[in-house]
Every structure is written in C-alpha cells, then in structure tokens.
Amino acid sequence: PNMDAIYHEKQEGQLCAQHCLNNLLQGSYFNPIQLADIARRLDEVEKAHLTEGDIPTTQMLRVMEQPSTNMDDSGFFSVQVISEALKIWNLEITPLTSPRMKQAMDVPVNEKAFICNHELHWITIRKLGKQWFNLNSLKKKPEFITNTYLSLFLAQLQMEGHETSSGSVLTEQELREKRIKHFEMFKNS
C-alpha cells in the first residue's frame, strides 16, 4: 500500500489505546468518550461481581469507592477496554502467551495484526495487503516491517516487556460492512 493511504493516528495526550484501535481498524472509529463509556460499564460489572453475596457493608463501600481499573485520568485504557471495543466489530484479541497462539508465534506472518502494550503505551502492528507496518502512534509515520523482520521485531518487543496479543482483522469488504453497523450502533445509542 501507498504510505499516504495508510490511516495512522499520531499520539495525542495519553490516548494511545484510542490510537491503537483506530490504527488497527484503519479509520477514526473510537474516541475517548466511547472508550470511557466502555470502561465505566466494565467497572460496574466488576463491582457488581465483587459485591455479590453476603459481604459486610464496610467491605462493599471500599469496593464501590475504588478507582477504575479500566481507565485513569491520563487517558489510559486497559486491555479489557480494548477487547470490549473490538467485540463491537466481532473481533477478539488473544495473548500470544496463550497455548492456542503457538502457531501465531511460530509463523506470525500468517496473522493479520498484533496489539502490544509496554509501560502503559499501546501500539498496533498490522498487515495491510501483503505488507506489515508498525503503526505506533509515537512514530511520525507508519514503519514498514519485512516478513523476515516481523518475527525478530515481535521477539524484541516481548524481550523488552511488551505484552503482545494477536487479533483477527476483517477483510476490507467485511470492514466496510462492519463500519456501517458500527456507526449505526453509536448513532442510535
């Protein structure tokens, strides 16, 4: 693909989860308000689960007063928020440390994308056409990654402490169909 045709959000504040998602999906589909709504819903579910059953009132109050584990004031969003956001698109991410992802680590070029986190920064590594790109929002532009270098690049990220997940990404036709449904969902809510 032409480098100018690749959607690449650059870092704004601490919104790397938003940039990571939008770079993965190749368009401006998520904003901080939508991601914060997802984080709040996750927090509510988690707090409801933690306060189920017969627990003392003081313990319940402590749980309810806890700050969000899914977002913070800086704009950081958790992997759970990213995962829930991708579910809207019928996409899922799986940690590469999962036994079912052995094939992805052995032959990463057969995957469609990788999402990585290191020290609270999210990045997307994505195949566009038949080529791989580092769509890190801290970079000025997408960086081309050869198929040969992809394995080494992912291994280096893991050695540096990045948590890496693989995600299935839709074809361009499927993506166009999902975009329409995605916009309708947010428009109607």
- CB contact set of 157 (below 8 Å; sequence gap of 6+): 116, 118, 164
Length of the chain: 189
Cα 154 to Cα 160: distance, rounded to the nearest angstrom: 10
What is the identity of the amino acid at 98? S
Residue 19 appears among annotated catalytic residues: no
Torsion sign over Cα 85, 166, 175, 20: positive
Residue 20 bears catalytic tag: no
Examine the residue annotation and report whether 90 is marked as an active-site residue of this protein.
Answer: no
Task: Please give the structure tokens belonging to residue 87.
Answer: 């579910």
Catalytic, out of 19, 134, 136, 162: 136
**Set 8, 70, 117, 121: catalytic member:** 121
Taking a C-beta distance cutoff of 8 angstroms, is the pair 85, 185 a contact?
A: no
Task: Find the helix packing angle between 57-65 and 32-50, rounded to 10°.
Answer: 170
Residue in 8, 16, 22, 117 annotated catalytic = 16
Beta bridge partners of 144: 133
Q: Which residues are catalytic?
A: 16, 121, 136
